[in-house]
A and B are shown apart, each in its own frame.
Chain A
Amino acid sequence: MTPAAVASVDQDIPRKSFVALAWRRFLRHHLAIIGALIVVVLVLMAVLAPWLAPRDPNRVDIMSAREGPSKEHVLGCDVVGRDVLSRLIYGTRVSLSVGLVAVAIGVLIGTLLGCLAGYFGGWADMIISRLIDAVLSFPPLMLILVIVGLLGPRLFNIMLVLGLLGWPQVARIVRGQILAVREEQYVLSSRAVGAGSRRIILTDVLPNIMSPIIVDSTFGVARAILIEAGLSFLGMGVQPPTASWGNMLNDAQSLSILESMSWMWVPPGLMIFLATISINFVGDGLRDALDPKLN
């Protein structure tokens, strides 16, 4: 065959990029698709909250306090007469933003330190690894409560604390992956054409370890949402009147509400459950789709 003929035969094979292949594998994962759809709906809810919410979520109406579901208040009202559905929709903003920002902080710090430790090794690795061990050896909830207590329970403080506690996980993954990728032949050939350490980390190492970072971040978002809900439930999280799923659950600490006014606590509980489980499904799907060994 002439070179041209060889090339034209080659042409008939559809060329798929890594992203396209991963997307196809992801589509085969049904739970992940359902999860992704739910996540999309949640994101839309958070973004469009002012237009979707039937009422002002913070408007107190004592007259309709503890009212059950009705035509006016589809999911009823809470103890001070605020519309539960509206608060639920606005609560999505809090949960998603806490999840995303906390993870972003954690991934940023974790990736940076993990890179330094894994690529350069030596004393940098020594110091960073001990730091990871130190942070991981604190009981997290206690640490969170103490720090939030000291800094004040504001939304950003919660994000910050969750991020600062989340980085060691990421750093550990990144460090381990880099130790493996660093020895790859293509890193050596990059150095052989004159690439420096920064260029090698950015173009050779990081893109090859993105998959585990992405997967871990997804699970991290779910984790952060849960912790925020727990903190708010304990009263150390997002402060009223701002609505969050966790502080809506706070009302359920009263026995009479728990027993006879399920509209106040079942919906936020369901939302937390739905959000975390869908994000975890997406994470599972991504883990399978992004696994380079399946290429």
Chain B
Amino acid sequence: MEPASVLSVRGLTTVFKTDLGVVRAVDKLDLEIPARATLGIVGESGCGKSTVGLSIMKLIPSPPGRISGGEIYFENRDLLRLNNRAMRRIRGRRISMIFQEPMTSLNPVRRVGETIIEVISLHYGLPRKEARRKAIEALESIRIPEPEIRINDYPHEMSGGMRQRIMIALAICCKPELVIADEPTTALDVTIQAQILSLLDQIQKETGTAIVLITHDLGVIAENADQVAVMYAGQLVEYADTFSLFQEPLHPYTQGLMLSVPRPGGGGKKKHRLNVIPGSVPNLLRIAPGCRFAQRCPEAVEKCYQKEPALIPQSGGRTVRCWRYA
């Protein structure tokens, strides 16, 4: 059964004004975010994956950024048409976000408990005592030992992993339907990464929240995502369930990404070089006609340089933006 989606993005275009011209960081993106599941968004830096998260939250720094088109449907309402007030009631309560830098994401002069209590009382209008109790519950749910004590800590008294847990507590304390996690583990070391990701997984099992996991790390995707959206140069290039994607990547870019993951001992006797995708991401200021990946694609043919492929549906609910599958 195809899972119902909690949020659907249609034709989202987000642009940034720079001194050199207008950059389309996200270009006519269509995306269904399945309910009660984890959607991974993967791509190299600069492909627009973080911009998608910020666009859904309507937190694109403006100026220079602007959402110039599209719709983002959440419960039959277009978020892009909501006013600031209505949007504030959604942020943190219905849709929340976890950022990459736990070290700087907490206000240094406030106790972490204050920050959580404030969010709870902001959204539920609870009296302080009640909100504090709920905040301690939230800390318990993210497995912080002795939450009654840690709630009085300042951020500088906590490690990066602890702070990221606090950020998660902030994101989930109002039981949102959707949590957008933008590279939540990139700044943490590997053992903590695993803990944080399994924590997110457990929270999803307990609360049934949908998670959008934005990352450049295919390993993280393989472990945690149910569905995967691969982005390249501001566009969606492939969408599939995680198992099929790793079993059989369709888009040449996805194939390239998979090959560029180092495999220890994978070369047998012969030392083999790490595969890299030649070239670099095209300059989004000057986009040539045709497929955006054509310049770097090992299988590009004449047509690829002339006409941009659309997303082409494949079996098993997959889609891919490549002429080979037309």
Give chain A's interface residues, CB within 8 Å of chain B.
3-4, 6-7, 11, 15, 17-18, 184-186, 188-196, 199, 203-204, 207-208, 292, 295
Contacts and interface: CB of A to CB of B under 8 A. Distances in A.
B123 to A, nearest CB: 6
Contacts of A15: 152-153, 157
Given A7-B149, A193-B96, A193-B170, 8 more contacts: A15-B153, A186-B104, A194-B123, A196-B85, A199-B122, A203-B107, A203-B110, A208-B107
B108 interface: yes
A208 B109 contact: yes
A194 B119 contact: yes
Contact of B122 (A7, A17, A188, A195): A195
Interface in B134-179: 143, 145-146, 149, 152-154, 156-157, 167, 170-171
A190 B153 CA distance: 18
B92 to A, nearest CB: 3
Interface string B103-117: 011111110000000
B139 to A, nearest CB: 12
A190 B84 CA distance: 14
B146 A7 contact: yes
Nearest to A19: B109
A22 to B, nearest CB: 11
A193 B109 contact: no
B59 interface: yes
Contacts of A194: 88-93, 119, 122-123
Contacts of B97: 189, 192
B158 to A, nearest CB: 9
B101 interface: yes
A166 to B, nearest CB: 25
25 contacts: A185-B104, A185-B105, A188-B105, A189-B97, A189-B99, A189-B170, A190-B107, A191-B59, A192-B59, A192-B96, A192-B97, A193-B96, A193-B119, A193-B171, A194-B90, A194-B119, A194-B123, A196-B88, A199-B118, A203-B110, A204-B107, A207-B110, A208-B107, A295-B108, A295-B156
Nearest to B146: A7
Nearest to A208: B109
Contacts of A192: 57, 59, 91-92, 96-97, 99
A6 B150 CA distance: 13
A186 B90 contact: no
Interface residues of B, number: 37
Contacts of A207: 107, 109-110
Interface string B284-309: 00000000000000000000000000
Contacts of B91: 191-194
Q: Residue among A17, A189, A196 with the most chain B CB within 10 A? A: A189
A207 B85 CA distance: 24
A21 to B, nearest CB: 10
A185 B92 contact: no
Nearest to B90: A194
B313 to A, nearest CB: 34
Contacts of B90: 194
A111 B145 CA distance: 40
Contact of B145 (A7, A186, A190): A7
Nearest to A184: B104
Contacts of A189: 97, 99, 105-106, 167, 170
Contacts of A295: 108, 156
Nearest to A209: B109
A8 to B, nearest CB: 9
B97 to A, nearest CB: 4
A62 to B, nearest CB: 60
Contacts of B96: 192-193
Contacts of B106: 186, 189
Contacts of B170: 189, 193
Given A193-B91, A195-B122, A186 B59 contact: no
A286 B221 CA distance: 50
A188 B99 contact: yes
Contacts of A185: 99, 101, 104-105
A3 B59 contact: no
Contacts of B149: 7, 11
Interface in B76-104: 84-85, 88-93, 96-97, 99, 101, 104
A188 B59 contact: yes
B99 A6 contact: no
Nearest to B173: A193
